[in-house]
Amino acid sequence: MELSLQTWPKVEDYLKTKNTIIIPIGSTEQHGPTGLIGTDYITAQKIAIEVGEKTNTMVAPPLCFGMAFHHMDFPGTITLKPSTMMLVLLDMIESCYTHGFKKFMFINGHGGNINPTATAFCEWKTKDTDTTLQLENWWRLPEVQAYEKIHFGDENGFHATCGEVALTMHLEKEAFKTIPKTQFKIERPKYSMPMAPKEFRKTFFDGRMASNPGLATSEHGAKLFEIAVDTISKKVSEL
């Protein structure tokens, strides 16, 4: 049930019996030498649509841009200021709330979005409304992390991870045809978040954070997709 493929009378009907909406949020940012720039919104959107199918829940179009300033020293990254991102989320929540949506499941594909999103939730809640705002970061689900631990171990890393590259290999097969498969050496420099653009590039010269995306395969991606969809579907049902 993609909102973008509905007519308004169908949404009106939906709201007679349900009031949940799933909103995928991601980012447009570098994902290392072999990862896709759209990784974070593609994964969030595709998981969201599948969760929507399984749970018969309305799914909004994705917010393709997030808070990615720390990746700005790598070409192709497009970032929102944290304060801008908060305003966008507040407008989206307010629009949906006006129509009668009360339960919001945000499916997120990017770590940098967590703080501004949580802060936007707080700002919304100052209005004293009866809404439930939940944020699920697919790569942080214990079920997902357990799988990654077994299959990628210490080489999963923290950005341009085996997990997210695998997931996009499954979802965007075509795109990976022109990307040579490489194994990477892992370095573990000392750092503390948040990082500024130049700091990040100096510390993680090619954009990976302690990951070897060479371990990623489309098959792992298919499995991770299944796990993420199943786990979040259950959470949507319990909202």
Interacting positions 65-94 with a copy of itself (CB under 8 A): 65, 67, 69-70, 72, 74-84, 86-88, 91-92
What CA–CA distances, in Å, run from 127 to 93, 121, 123, 130, 154? Answer: 12, 11, 8, 9, 44
Looking at residues 101 to 140 of the shown chain, list those that interact with a copy of itself (rule: CB under 8 A): 112, 115-116, 118-123, 125-134
Q: How far is the CB of 231 from a copy of itself (least distance, A)?
A: 17
17 binds a copy of itself (CB under 8 A): no
Q: Which stretch binds a copy of itself (CB under 8 A): 31-39, 47-55, 139-147, 148-156?
A: 31-39
Please, is 188 exposed, middle or buried when counting C-beta atoms within 10 Å of its C-beta (0-12, 13-18, 19+)? exposed
How many angstroms separate the CA atoms of 68 and 200, rounded?
Answer: 11
Min dist CB 169 to a copy of itself, Å, is 12
CA distances from 35 to 31, 82, 112 (A): 5, 24, 17
- Cβ atoms of 1 and 52 within 8 Å: the answer is yes
- Of residues 34 and 147, the one with the C-beta less far from a copy of itself: 34
Query: How many residues line the site for a copy of itself (CB under 8 A)?
Result: 85
Q: Could you say which of 1, 22, 96, 162 contacts a copy of itself (CB under 8 A)?
A: 96
